[in-house]
Amino acid sequence: MELIKEYIDLSIFAILGIMAFIALWCVIERLLFFRKINLDNYKSQDEFEDSLSENLTTLYIIYSNAPYVGLLGTVIGIMITFYDMSLAGNIDVKSVVSGLSLALKATALGLFVAIPTLIAYNALLRKVNLIANKYKAKL
């Protein structure tokens, strides 16, 4: 239990940090791709739409799962707090509230990763639809 207690915050924050980095990379990659896209390079509408929507699934997965990763950190943090309470003979309210507030930071970070990723995903999806409509109009 002490090993989990020591590394749970670091593990959850590392996972969410990696998710945030990947999301940011996907958004930047898509924006750069949209800037240099040439409609004449594609032979079919399906090929064009596949090319446009690349990396959007990754963003969808990240915004869908980041809150759950944060929630997992919170649940484990609360379990550790209750375990520590069970071992202590005299329960101190300050330590309980402190443990619970520290556990909730994982959920907050999960939402902090998920919300901007959701916004970026929806904006990129809209951009994909607009560019696809330009391609259809060109045909």
Which tens digits make up the pLDDT trace of 24-61? Answer: 999 999 999 999 998 888 888 888 888 999 989 999 99
Does the structure show a pLDDT above 90 at 101?
no
Q: Is the Cβ–Cβ distance between 39 and 135 less than 8 Å?
A: yes
Q: Is the Cβ–Cβ distance between 42 and 135 less than 8 Å?
A: yes
Query: What is the rounded distance in angstroms from the CA atom of residue 53 to the CA atom of residue 60?
Result: 11
Query: What is the rounded distance in angstroms from the CA atom of residue 93 to the CA atom of residue 84?
Result: 12
Residue among 94, 93, 27, 104 nearest 58 (CA): 27
40: DSSP letter: G
- Which amino acid appears at position 44 of this protein? S
**Percentage with pLDDT > 70 across the chain:** 99
Query: What is the rounded distance in angstroms from the CA atom of residue 67 to the CA atom of residue 87?
Result: 30
User: If you search the block for the tokens 């040439």, which residue do you land on?
Assistant: 38
Specify the pTM.
0.86
